[in-house]
Structure 1
């Protein structure tokens, strides 16, 4: 054991993952949660974003599985769906519907509330963990703030019955974007950590629907998930063509219809939402929503800026405190990185607790250094797109020349990668690894085999030698033909290059 008591602030995904790790190293782990937690998969005030789609990326899925063995199986048993996006999702890209084919990536689909419910069930299987509900954390207990001996030693809190204190050998801040820990540390004598910020003015709106009965769905509904990317046409068009739109499947034969944009005002009421759905550039999107039964109002979110509190840059970071999830680094939710990044941070904590004997300043410095390296991967991905917008604000706003360069080339590069992925398994696999945070954008950018695959595909395209068709009419239903065999044929025809895909 590394100590007697660990206290986790917040009982959402980040806090529950941290608690699962700490239960193996502390006599008692106390989770302080402001909300009263529902027994089932239900929304609660402290997680307003639960009303929107949530992707659990593969790196996060594996991390949670290491912390809570059997998590994935429990999630599927509770209604989650293991799908292969390239086969089970229809993607409308720049030139129309992408071809359907098998790929290297699978994902677990389900609502945020289901993911949290399954995690709570897993946490309650660990006897060392106690979840205290209806508790509002009001401050930290600390000594020597800002000095080499500075340490967080506990927390102060408030309940309906009054105020209290808890001593702790370790405190984990998992309070999310609204965490006040930085202010509490400042009051105790620590300097505020530098912050990196970038707000690309992303707004998104979601509404929940019941699907029609299975025997009442159109024959064209081979897909489970519909994705419509923003139009790259600069001509005159409805602003809905610039939306990133998802018809996202969740448990219980339901779907979340979500539309979002960079810098565009989104619909707030049901009439405006339904009208916008009908104007999304792929007409199958509106038809799908109209075939379903709405079960909620429209939920709107605008708190989407990227923000990284750089505790790793402090000369004397506080011992006794670890921050994970949005409390340390919050991302534009469009990129689906939050839950997975939090789980990866919890796994770093687990590895350090297994490998070190003392919770001394060196332990916390090592954690911050390794966490920084982990967060660099999703942060670079978020910056790669959000820095393209002239209206973005924050410390990480790019120089005008760089914004123009990013805006000019980000979509063409994305289109080239998607096109090459149709016939080149290495390109497809590498891009999936980057999307799932298993490989960094820098690693991909420096991979000669990856770029060879893209160039080779472009040469084959110009010579009329590509075999997997693409760009199917966005005004029609997405084609259900499985082009997997075509892709294998293309790889076989490239055997003479000596670079056949593994």
Structure 2
């Protein structure tokens, strides 16, 4: 059912493109306003500085985008995206050493942010009633009687029956609404001082025989003794399209290398020599890119007594996450799909619609938000409204690491725990739901008892200084179902 003549989307990044797909069935015309000139190919642009770093497309995001744009996944793979099983295709260094390989139900599509957005632009441009207008800087909103009625582009005024704010972390829309008389929303924040730095490489023409893996992950050390700062880094050697990789190092509260020389030196001090050795076999194709804008930020428009009619928020404009947790695109796509579902059953785009959508979106966003808080609240360097009292922060810092390692260890040996842990990682299930599952709890207890007795089904803790083992241990978990 058509709900109006014109809908306007502010921003042509992933959140805005997904929003356009959500709006298209319900309006005669959808206008996407993007400040940048958009490249035809998969290229970086000023408005998406995060594109220079690794991006995971979680399974919940894959499904949401696939529902908005049927065939998206196949088109992404055809464009060069890599369909991999991380438990088999990734060398994973966690705890004291390398984890064992084993098959699982979870697969992921690897690709650069610029490829994901290029394929999304192609999908949107295939919608007959959607127009992407480039080089358009929105300077304000038009409002009347509690409703957003259009947007301003300099001196130009564009009427709209509905507007979606997808302008990202720095969204100016809250200020425009305040100027029009709405109260500013409560803003919840937590910045754990995450900084990460990346460099792009071409893979060698022939991979070494020992590289059974395509993705390399190095988690921060659990060691509390003396060690180099680089042992605290979260490291990725991340495969993307076109025979390329993104080498990335990140940390909570530590200084990160900014130059090519410093990047290479830091790589040689991480917990495994494999990371630097892999970089040495590749050809660098970029400078070093560093990002600090990584704080969690939730603008609580859902708590406004009278939210503006005719306006919705998708992506970082309402809830931005620490990018370490790979939740941004998937959460944005989920919000866009939720918006389409609410539009499909809406009779009118009135105050009731605005409140109902914001409440449903709050429930959706609470899942990734709690996951981000569970980790970031434990860091002493964190600042923001959600920083807990010191006693609680110390408790979280002491408990989160062992709890995470318990779940990861149990998932290695128990396929049911593995399945639910994958659902949590992919935003298909909350951590609370997982931990209330009797079968999961039984699996965790069984693993803890077996670990105390030294009776592991799947070995772990392989020497981080050596090559990660290639053996497939899938059969060892078959008896746990």
Selected match of 1:346 from 313, 336, 340: 336
Q: Does 1:281 align with 2:271?
A: yes
Write the mapping of 1:292-307 to structure 2, written as runs, cut at 5 A. Answer: 292-307=282-297
Kept in 2: contact 1:143–1:188 (CA 8 A): no
Q: What's 1:14 paired with?
A: 15
Structure 1 residue runs of 4+, over 4 Å off? none
Asked if 1:155 is matched to 2:151, the reply is yes
Paired with 1:487 and 1:375, the residues of 2 have a C-alpha distance of: 33
Summarize deviations over 1:87-127 as a string: whole Å, max 9, x none.
Answer: 00010001200000101210000000000000000001101
Pairwise CA distance, 1:196: 0.3
Aligned length in residues: 480
SS at match of 1:486: helix
Structure 1 distance, partners of 2:210, 2:156, is: 59
Give the Å deviation of 1:369.
0.4
Q: How does 1:65-84 map to 2 (within 5 A)?
A: 65-84=66-85
Contact 1:110–1:249 (CA under 8 A) maintained in structure 2? yes
Q: Secondary structure of 2:455's match?
A: coil
CA contact (8 A) 1:6 1:171 kept: yes
How far did 1:455 drift?
A: 1.2
- Structure 2: distance between partners of 1:134 and 1:298: 28
User: How far apart in 2 are the matches of 1:445 and 1:315?
Assistant: 34
SS in 2 for 1:464: coil
* Contact 1:204–1:258 (8 Å) recurs in 2: yes
Q: Deviations over 1:48-87 (max 9, x none)?
A: 0000000000001100000000000000000001100000
1:191 counterpart residue number: 183
Find the counterpart in structure 1 of residue 227 from structure 2.
237
Preserved contact between residue 64 and residue 334 of structure 2 (Cα < 8 Å): yes
- On the 8 A contact 2:96/2:221 being kept in 1, the answer is no
Q: Find the counterpart in structure 1 of residue 165 from structure 2.
A: 173
Q: C-alpha separation between the residues in 2 aligned to 1:403 and 1:409?
A: 10
Q: Aligned equivalents of 2:455 and 2:384: distance in 1?
A: 46
2:38 counterpart residue number: 37
SS across alignment from 2:367: helix
Q: Structure 2: give runs of 5+ residues left out of the alignment.
A: none
**Distance in 1 between residues matched to 2:76 and 2:440, nearest whole Å:** 34
Q: State the SS of the aligned residue for 2:246.
A: strand
| Structure 1 gap ranges (5+) | 145-149, 492-499
Q: Give the CA deviation at 1:461.
A: 2.4
Quick check: 1:210 aligned with 2:211? no
> 1:51 and 1:388, CA in 2 relative to 1: closer, same or farther beyond 3 A?
same
1:23 is paired with a residue whose SS is helix
Following superposition, the deviation at residue 235 of structure 1 comes to 1.1
* Separation of aligned partners in 1, 2:460 and 2:445: 17
2:361 corresponds, among 362, 371, 383, to 371
- 1:486 Cα deviation from its structure 2 partner: 2.0
Residue 496 of structure 1 is matched in structure 2 by none
| Map of 2:141 onto structure 1 | 140
Within 2, Cα distance between the matches of 1:349 and 1:324?
9
Q: Distance in 2 between matches of 1:119 and 1:242?
A: 35
- C-alpha deviation, 1:445, in angstroms: 2.5
Match of 1:109 in 2: 110
From 366, 373, 386, the equivalent of 1:383 is: 373
Q: Which residue of 1 aligns with 2:422?
A: 432
* 2:453 paired with 1:463: yes
Cα offset, 1:426, TM superposition: 0.8
Structure 2 match to 1:495: none
Shift of 1:289: 1.0
1 CA distance for matches of 2:37 and 2:394? 48
1: distance between equivalents of 2:187 and 2:438? 34
Residue 118 in 1 paired to residue 127 in 2? Answer: no
1:4 matched residue in structure 2: 5
Deviations 1:216-257 (A, max 9, x none): x21110000000000111111110000000000000000000
Give yes or no for the alignment of 1:392 onto 2:382: yes
CA distance in 1, matches of 2:434, 2:342: 28
What CA distance in whole angstroms lies between the structure 2 residues aligned with 1:476 and 1:265? Answer: 28
What displacement does 1:457 show? 1.1
| Distance in structure 1 (CA, Å) of the matches to 2:166 and 2:384 | 23
8 Å contact kept, 2:7–2:163: yes
CA displacement, residues 190-209 of structure 1 (integer Å, 9 cap, x when unaligned): 00000000000000000000
Aligned mates of 1:232, 1:41 — CA distance in 2: 38
CA drift of 1:467 comes to 2.1
In structure 1, the residue matched to 2:315 is 325
Alpha-carbon deviation of 1:286?
1.2
Structure 1 length-normalised TM: 0.95
Q: 1:352, 1:367 within 8 Å by CA — same for their partners in 2?
A: yes
**Matched residue SS, 1:137:** coil
The Cα of 1:130 is off from its aligned counterpart by 0.3
What secondary structure is seen at the aligned counterpart in 2 of 1:234?
coil
TM-score, normalization by structure 2: 0.99
